[in-house]
Amino acid sequence: MSLIELRDIRKTYHLGEVDLQVLKGVSLAIEKGELVALMGASGSGKSTLMNILGCLDHPTAGEYWLDGQEISSAGSNDRAKLRNRLIGFVFQNFNLLTRTSALENVVMPLNYSHEHLSEHEMRERATKLLSLVGLSQRLDHQPSQLSGGQQQRVAIARSLINRPRLLLADEPTGNLDSHTSEEILSMLKRLNEDEGLTIILVTHDPGVAEHAKRVIHIRDGLIENTTN
Amino acid sequence: MKLLRILVTSLRALRRNIMRTALTTLGIVIGVAAVIAMMEIGKGSTMAIQRTIATMGAYNILIFPGNIFAGGVSYGSGSSITLKPEDADAILAECPSVITAAPIVRSRTQIVYGNRNWVPNTMIGTTPAYLEVHDWTDMADGEAFTDRDVHNCNKVCLVGQTIVRELFAGESPVGKEVRMQNVNVKVIGVLKPKGANMWGQDQDDVVLAPWTTIKFRVTGSTLSTPNLSTSAATTASTTPLPSQVYPNTSLTLYSVPSATQTADTPAPVHFANIDQVVVAARSAEDIPAAIDEITSLMRERHHLRGETPDDFTIRDLTEIVKTMSSTTELMTNLLLIVALISLVVGGVGIMNIMLVSVTERTREIGLRMAVGAQGPDILRQFLTEAVVLCLLGGIFGIGLGRATSWLVRVVKHWPTATSLGAIVAAVAVSATVGIVFGFYPAWKASRLDPIEALRYE
């Protein structure tokens, strides 16, 4: 079975009198170990689909199978648990805690996890991940003391701390120059190839999308075509 | 999320904006400091006033003999001669609510030293227990008389500061002899000054002596002279006997002892009445119990049964004590309420800043929710921050409050007293303020939608 399977996902927002249908029946399967790019112009329903994939939102109708579980009707607390356990997020604007060391930023999601680790184990795991992204010399640096690329690498380390099945990267290179973007993308690729991590890259930039093995185009709330 | 982690996270969040944290806490610091200072100063003055009341004899119970009512004529309170010195001993021995009891014999005679004379306002014959009752055991000079002096009828006395001034012109009277009714009595001690009492009487215009001395030597009264008429019998003998006017009209077979000789060798005493017994209860609360115990004991001792009315009267001064302590309590409570209001104002400040903080950290909240924090996790985190803020304020407030009360004590010489209750209450109140005023912002934070929070600019 695929890691992710969407069956006829629909999402409708109720804006007062008007119903705005954003997703009009999206069906999609993503296998374990894939590196997929999700492309679409703004207003195409890309963000909504990403929110549903990331368990931040629930669909109005349809089935969402994640890791063998049907979760389209999960409550907000259950979705929070799923996010913590299965999904890692990387954002365009890094979203690191200010005036907090890189190490503490990486440890933060463990506070909400249900595997109870000791303080020492937490730090050990975070240190390992930070050296994986090449920041072993900067454990105690605060975000303001790091470059954009370094900040995004801290964010990647943070997304991996709970050993997720799926990494959801929302415009991960949107705030970076082209050189740093290449670095980040090759790091994501390496994670995909070496660790077998399933990654979904959400972007509107074809240059970013070409790093993916498969590109899913979305337009007007429907999957347009899939290119390999 | 473990409590320790929550605490560490909160402290870290507070440290991120240390100046704001300090200023926010200032409201609580001032509130708690005001509460602590008020409590300590209030408690100190209450204690000081209670001590003053106690030395004035306000926790005392006074027992007077009853009145004689004969042939339609009442002789007034204290006219009966039923009160015995043994009653005082029995009260002390058998009433558990009583700590001391002293018999009192009153007199009012002239005392003479050299070429000066003075009539003390209060001239009391008693036992050393009287000094305990009135908290007068420490002498300004010399020493107090003892139970042995009482037993032996020794001619000793203690004088107050007014007597020292009037009779001895300020020089030390210890070891000097004064004359009372032609009896030489040695001054062995000087009482400490007390000033006027609650009703303006000079408490230092006093002579204290063993009650036996006053009773048998000075006033010379016996069973046949009820205390009501002692002064009349001893000082106002306006009709002299014929033998005194015409010394040689009658022969005496035996030599008549002189007044001094008679006074020096009093007849053995089997019965003596006293004017009053003064009793000190263990505490203000014990006074009603003590009165009940004394009443039943005295009725038993005086063989009064059934319907027979008491042949004694018991009075106490609890009303005065109540009035005076309730005044200070009222003032303390009033100030406490003002201090509590400032604490509430501090709490509103906390709420305000926490709301700002929640808005400011919307993105952080969104991120925490995205990585798996649930509503209650966020609620707990922000609530902990508010409580930590308030508790920090409480701790600094306790320090500041204690410093203030210390300063007041040192600079203004106001009495203060450490109040453990106030400290516990201050910590509890500041934690409560944190929970009450921190809850709304924390609840607001926990209700945020992660998608919108992440997108918040």
Listing DSSP states for chain A in one string gives: --SEEEEEEEEEEEETTEEEEEEEEEEEEE-TT-EEEEE--TTSSHHHHHHHHTTSS--SEEEEEETTEE-TT--HHHHHHHHHHHEEEE-TT--PPTTS-HHHHHHGGGGG-SS---HHHHHHHHHHHHHHTT-TT-TT--GGGS-HHHHHHHHHHHHHTT--SEEEEESTTTTS-HHHHHHHHHHHHHHHHHH--EEEEEES-HHHHTTSSEEEEEETTEEEEEE-
The whole-number pLDDT of residue A30 equals 93
CB B64 within 8 Å of CB B77: yes
pLDDT of residue B250: 57
The answer to whether ipTM exceeds 0.90 is yes
The pLDDT value given to residue B246: 57
Predicted confidence band of residue B228 (pLDDT cuts 50, 70, 90): very low
Tell if the CB–CB gap between A112 and B374 is shorter than 8 Å.
yes
Joined tokens for residue B432: 């409560």
B372–A84 C-beta distance less than 8 A: yes
The C-alpha of B347 sits at a distance from chain A's nearest C-alpha, in angstroms, of 27
Q: Which two tokens stand for residue B270?
A: 């089997």
Q: Say if residue A163's pLDDT is above 80.
A: yes
Chain B 375-434, residues with CB within 8 Å of chain A CB atoms: 375, 377
Determine, for residues B371 and A56 on separate chains, whether the beta-carbon distance falls below 8 Å: no
Nearest to B326 by CA among B61, B67, B53, B144: B53
Contact with chain A for residue B12, Cβ under 8 A: yes
- B61 near B279, Cβ under 8 Å? yes
Lowest mean pLDDT among B78-92, B146-160, B440-454: B78-92
- Provide the pLDDT for residue B222: 45
Q: How do beta strands A69-70 and B69-70 pair?
A: unpaired
How much is the pLDDT for B236? 40
- Mean of pLDDT over chain A: 91
CB contact under 8 A, A76 and B375: yes
C-alpha to C-alpha distance for B39 and B328, rounded to whole angstroms: 12
Judging by DSSP bridges, how do beta strands A4-15 and A61-66 pair with one another? antiparallel
- Exposure string over B231-252, b if 16+ CB within 10 A, otherwise e: beebeeeeeeeeeeeeeeeeee
pLDDT confidence band for B251 (50 / 70 / 90): low
Give the model's confidence band at A191: pLDDT under 50 very low, under 70 low, under 90 confident, else very high. Answer: very high
Please give the mean pLDDT across all residues of chain B: 83
Query: Residue A57 is nearest to which of B367, B368, B451, comparing CB atoms?
Result: B451
Q: For the purposes of burial, counting CB atoms within 10 Å of the CB of B261, is it exposed (0-12), middle (13-18) or buried (19 or more)?
A: exposed
Cβ-nearest to A51 among B2, B371, B451 = B451
Which tens digits make up the pLDDT trace of A55-78? Answer: 999 899 999 999 888 998 888 889
Contact check, Cβ <8 Å, A100/B377: no
Q: Which two tokens stand for residue A129?
A: 């991940």
Rounded Cα distance between B215 and B107, Å, is 9
Given an 8 Å threshold on Cβ–Cβ distance, is B372 in contact with A158? no
Residues from chain B that touch A142, judged by Cβ atoms under 8 A, are none
CA distance A165 to A184: 19
Q: Record the pTM.
A: 0.69
In whole angstroms, give the CA distance from residue B21 to residue B28.
11
Question: Element (H or E) spanning B207, and its range?
Answer: strand B206-210
Gap between the Cα atoms of A42 and A29, Å rounded = 23
Residues from chain A contacting residue B451 (CB–CB below 8 Å): 51, 56-57
| Percent of chain B at pLDDT exceeding 90 | 27
Give chain A positions within 8 Å (CB) of B21.
none
**Across A138-161, average pLDDT:** 93
A80 neighbourhood in chain B, CB within 8 Å: 369, 372-374
- Sequence-separated (6 or more) residues with CB below 8 Å from residue A91: A155, A170, A171, A172, B367, B454
CB atoms under 10 Å from CB of B427, counted, come to 17
Looking at residue B266, its pLDDT comes to: 67
Q: How far is B373 from chain A (nearest CA, A)?
A: 6
The answer to whether B20 faces chain A, any CB pair under 8 Å, is no
Q: Find chain B residues with C-beta within 8 A of A57's C-beta.
A: 451
Q: Which H or E run includes B292?
A: helix B287-301
> Could A111 and B373 be called an inter-chain contact, meaning their C-beta atoms sit closer than 8 Å?
yes
pLDDT grade for B221, boundaries at 50, 70 and 90: low
Find which of A83, A111, A168 to mutate to test the B interface (most B CBs within 10 Å of its CB).
Answer: A111
> How close A128 comes to chain B (CA, Å)?
19
Contacts of B446 in chain A (CB under 8 A): none
Distance from B334 to chain A by nearest Cα, in Å? 45
pLDDT band at B253 (very low <50, low <70, confident <90, very high): low
Q: What is the DSSP letter of B257?
A: P
Q: Please list every residue in chain B whose beta carbon sits closer than 8 Å to the beta carbon of residue A54.
A: 370
Q: How confident is the model at residue B283 (pLDDT cuts 50, 70, 90)?
A: confident
pLDDT at residue B340, rounded to an integer = 83
